[in-house]
Amino acid sequence: MENVYENTSVRVLCSKLVLYKNEHGLQWLIGSPFFPPLNVVSTIRCIHTDATSPDYHRESEELRTLLLKGFEVIGALIFANSDAEKNADEAIAAARRLRKLFCGEREKMDSQQVIGAVADLNGGDIKFFVSKSESSKSFECVNVLYEDDPEKYIWERGCLLRCELPLKLPIYYPVNKPSDLEKIFRRATEAVVAKFKDPKVAYMVEALRKNSAEVPQPVILRGVDLDFDTDLSNVKLLDERAQNSDADSLSCSHFCLESKKGPPVYSAEHADRIQVSVLLNRSVNSEKSTAPIAEYFPALEEARVLVVDYKLEVLCYAVKGLPLRHAVSKLIIPGLVDQFNLVGNTILPNLLAQHPQLHTYHFSPPGVLHPIIVVYELNYGETEMKQVEVRKSLHLRLGLPFDRPLLRIANALDFSTRDGIRSDPTRKGSTLLKDVHLGIPSSGVSGGSVSMVQGSYEYYHYLQEAFNDSGWGCAYRSLQTIISWFRLQHYTSVEVPSHREIQQTLVEIGDKDPSFIGSREWIGAIELSFVLDKLLGVSCKVINVRSGAELPEKCRELALHFDNQGTPIMIGGGVLAYTLLGIDYNEASGDCAFLILDPHYTGNDEHKKIRPDMV
């Protein structure tokens, strides 16, 4: 075999290559055309297989949705226990086949270098092979370098571009020929795609962050050149320091000039962000003055109009030296087209029924160096199983843990804030105290082991928000504290319910009569479990004890709950309810102490009044 890569190395930025070392299957290696061709930014698992080979069409369509423009498939990783070169050849062939579908007409297969990696199932190192071109059929094992600071490598060089575009697409179809609707719909969508490339369409580029004195004026780009033959890796980058008023001479760095206080933070949440808006020039300049013309196109038969709503939200990655014109033509416009077609294909089967409520979200999960794009159907709500299965599939593909929420709506990046992270998911203007137990010393159980609530919660108690529930609302307040925990851990975006909303929920599920709404009746552990199941899809376990004296017998079970689940616990007896935040338990002696959050408190929300140790 010809040694064509004597001095070649693969640079690995991510750590996911090690995580799946003992698993079977295939992973796609993700890189960027803005980096040297042998830089692996992330890995994404292949989850669709047809018989013994990948379902390339499904994989391509899902990766086209998931990946930001500016990232693409550059290779594949295969797991094997023998014949590394043979498996490397299979990985390279799989990567090339996927690239043909993923990159489409922009792919020049013969000149593209592709990586084939082989992970030894017996615990050996991962070997990397590189194929220079499809026609040569030769590849060579190369060295691998691991980047010490991958976040800096990506985000010091690059920025994010965002384009949000709401559309209303009217579809006129004959009543007597509903079968023509699909053909009419496809023609209408093709017309919209053509509009993105119309010379009359202008693109306004501006800084997304507007709270800096250095924000430059927006730039209008007209007649954007859509030359797909020029690959992004071959685009000439501009000097980031050069500034020119001519739009054709500006790069993305023109809008990345914000002064940042303190040491730089390299992450997707703190990246420089650029906003691109689509502007349609409906007036046409003419050298001659002409009178307005109205054209009338009568329908030849009875027709109806169907309006399809779109809300596109495209996010792209670009190096700062990329010319703005190329950023729009090769990132934003292809991103709009892909997302528009994706939404259209999802809506098409149900055009005459209830349209799916589709919304685009961007996430930056831990361990993934670049954001990902997810389109959720909101028809299914927060707890619908179909939505859960979608998230499970995404966790599997991205190698994310299954025991914590990372891709719920509450975790999505929010570009209305400075740092891109969704604002604190509590009520606006809330003055409720959080985590009031922090710093409280144990009562001193000799040889005890402390198990505590994990994460944050809000302290709900009597008389808050000018609502008098003294004497009957303690379980309601304990429930509110528990739901606030789920919100602050991003398990849900559901608002903390009021007393009336809790009562309404119990009536809706048939547990209470309508007269219960607005009453001052108590609720207990069973009602709490019903509400948590209805609002959050959370199942509960109710433990019965005959008296408070029996509670220490449950300490082992309670400790395991705090260690494994970490949620607050409502405990009640008679007409009283409390919130349990932790225990100090000596398994050998049986001695224990309980950390109780009291919802019966009626004073002001001040730490020194709530915690005796702070007086």
Closest CA to 348 of 186, 170, 169: 186
- CA atoms lying within 13 Å on the CB side of residue 148: 0
**Which comes out higher in pLDDT, residue 213 or 580?**
580
**What is the Cα Rg of the chain in Å?**
29
The pLDDT value given to residue 22: 47
Mean pLDDT over all residues of the chain? Answer: 83
The pLDDT value given to residue 17: 66
pLDDT at 428 over 50: no
Of the pLDDT bands very low, low, confident and very high (cuts 50, 70, 90), residue 242 is low
The pLDDT value given to residue 31: 94
Q: What is the pLDDT of residues 311-337, one digit of tens each?
A: 999 999 999 999 998 999 999 999 999
pLDDT at 168 over 80: yes
Q: What is the pLDDT of residues 170-185, one digit of tens each?
A: 888 888 887 888 899 9
pLDDT at 460 over 90: yes
Mean pLDDT of 573-598: 88
pLDDT at 361 over 80: yes
Beta strands (DSSP E) in 289-424 are 303-319, 358-363, 372-377
Q: In terms of C-beta density within 10 A (0-12 exposed, 13-18 middle, 19 or more buried), how is residue 365 classed?
A: middle
- Cα dihedral angle (470, 474, 479, 485), rounded to 10 degrees? 90
Mean pLDDT of 55-83: 91
Q: What is the pLDDT of residues 498-511, one digit of tens each?
A: 999 999 999 999 99
User: Residues 6 or more apart from 335 whose CB is under 8 A from it?
Assistant: 68, 69, 163, 314, 315, 316
CB 577 within 8 A of CB 479: no
Q: What is the pLDDT of residues 392-406, one digit of tens each?
A: 999 999 988 887 778
Of the pLDDT bands very low, low, confident and very high (cuts 50, 70, 90), residue 339 is very high
Q: What is the pLDDT of residues 432-456, one digit of tens each?
A: 888 888 878 777 788 888 899 988 8
The pLDDT value given to residue 530: 95
pLDDT at 427 over 50: no
CATH number belonging to the domain at 9-148, selected among 3.30.479.10, 3.40.140.10, 3.40.50.720, 3.30.70.20:
3.40.140.10
Tell me the domain boundaries of the chain: 9-148, 158-282+303-356, 449-614
What is the assigned CATH class of domain 449-614? alpha beta
β-strand pairing of 114-120 with 53-54: unpaired
CB 119 within 8 A of CB 80: yes
Of the pLDDT bands very low, low, confident and very high (cuts 50, 70, 90), residue 568 is very high
Q: What is the pLDDT of residues 92-145, one digit of tens each?
A: 999 999 998 888 755 555 567 899 999 887 766 788 999 887 666 778 888 888
Of the pLDDT bands very low, low, confident and very high (cuts 50, 70, 90), residue 423 is very low
Other residues' Cβ atoms within 10 Å of the Cβ of residue 605: 15
Mean pLDDT of 480-501: 90
The pLDDT value given to residue 285: 60
CA distance 461 to 605: 9
Q: What is the pLDDT of residues 541-553, one digit of tens each?
A: 898 887 767 778 8
pLDDT at 382 over 50: yes
User: Known catalytic residues?
Assistant: 474, 598, 600
The pLDDT value given to residue 491: 81
